[in-house]
Structure 1
């Protein structure tokens, strides 16, 4: 799927679905998670075929995501033969994409207005609390007002039940001016005491606005409910991953 947001002419972005197959890919479902020997070769083929279909550098900077705030430069990442441990990627190199894998967590794509730098971040609730969006914006090294962001497929508030400790973690990190809006992102469960339904999309918007990134698009998906297009860890348990990519055209 092609994200619907205004990008500079030299920048492109793509988000895969569980059913969308690159030309030549094998198997029923498209998965990019390299987590077991049984599917590793198929995943490698999927990754290779995706890069080929999009006309990208065949060596993409696939990350080992840790729900943290580590940011790597794409060009530096591919110099290492093994995947880098990080949750965000920045690229200034034409044809070299940033790529993030998700299956309920929020993928956030970034572009500068002049198309000179792009980025992608893996933002689950732990990453949002830790500050992965701020780390990514800082790594882009340009004015935040000159950055736009796209919120890709993630679990919606209706299906994202969390414990009270998650709410408290966000409130503890929120700026004083954001306390009320952050608290409003948590709807109390009617059946489980001290549990809430969390709005990842709105929590990300609040943080991005606080960073100075005010042009924010997307954020109208639900990986849990949309069984035809998306993997969902909450719905399926052991499952595959979608890939969200952004790059500067050659």
Structure 2
């Protein structure tokens, strides 16, 4: 489990970006696969999620996740809900102690939020589609509705595909430049002609800061490059593997 000092220093808060170590899944999903959307045995996923919660000192039932769909939609959680009843969304917020908000990723950017004064937390799944459509700003707005203030919010950016690993085509770059020409800073030429390397972490951090969040920290870890620690959708695609695991990021007020 990886933590960030920015969040770890806060009283009454627990968080973690979980690696694939010490899980029960096997094969290409070996380790702590926490995604029911994979072809893993659901019993393995349940056991892995329970192990993650135990590392946070919480019961297995504290974990609450959504059915992620690369949207800007946010759920305000008042009580944990079972996986079978999970709404379609890509972020969660709460002001209730004992609820662990969880996000699943395999290259996308997990972001954990906390306003220590209002004691409001959030968790967002920021793939490029969700980030472009406003999932980060929507999470901040939902936290604000619970009493948070963007100027007090702390944001922790977890492991995600790094700039040296995220190759994209010209149409991808053109889409971002059409949104803002300044986005050219997010791209550098690839070794492959006509392709570019994209810094999604910098894009996410930029959107957080534009939204008024000034206290941002990041793990700086690349999910594709670190197979020993993380699952990666891009890695699975490059290898023509039929499936991939999902890593968990979680945050909880105690």
Which category describes the TM-score, using the shorter chain as reference length?
0.7 to 0.9
Question: In the alignment, what sits opposite 2:184?
Answer: 183
Question: In the alignment, what sits opposite 2:221?
Answer: 221
Q: Equivalent residues in 2 for 1:1-12 (5 A)?
A: 1-7=1-7, 8-12=10-14
Question: In the alignment, what sits opposite 1:113?
Answer: 116
Q: Deviations over 1:85-105 (max 9, x none)?
A: 111011211110110001101
8 A Cα contact 1:133 1:208, kept in partner: yes
TM-score, normalised via structure 1 length = 0.88
Counterpart pick for 2:138 among 132, 135, 138: 135
Q: Deviations over 1:186-232 (max 9, x none)?
A: 11224232x21110111011111100101110141101111111111
Counterpart pick for 2:63 among 60, 63, 69: 60
Q: Deviations over 1:104-144 (max 9, x none)?
A: 01101111032610111001111111111111111101221
Question: In the alignment, what sits opposite 1:239?
Answer: 244
TM-score, normalised via structure 2 length = 0.86
Taking the aligned partners of 1:36 and 1:197, their CA distance within structure 2 comes to 27
Seen in structure 2, the aligned counterparts of structure 1 residues 211 and 38 have a Cα distance that, compared at 3 Å, is: closer
Counterpart pick for 2:90 among 69, 87, 104: 87
8 A Cα contact 1:3 1:218, kept in partner: no
**Number of matched pairs:** 240
Taking the aligned partners of 1:46 and 1:31, their CA distance within structure 2 comes to 6
Taking the aligned partners of 2:228 and 2:101, their CA distance within structure 1 comes to 25
SS of 2:114's partner is strand
Counterpart pick for 2:150 among 124, 144, 165: 144
Taking the aligned partners of 2:224 and 2:139, their CA distance within structure 1 comes to 26
Seen in structure 2, the aligned counterparts of structure 1 residues 74 and 20 have a Cα distance that, compared at 3 Å, is: farther
**How far 1:39 sits from its partner (Å)?**
1.4
Counterpart pick for 2:171 among 165, 175, 183: 165
Question: In the alignment, what sits opposite 2:21?
Answer: 19
Taking the aligned partners of 2:198 and 2:83, their CA distance within structure 1 comes to 37
Taking the aligned partners of 2:126 and 2:136, their CA distance within structure 1 comes to 7
Question: In the alignment, what sits opposite 2:127?
Answer: 124
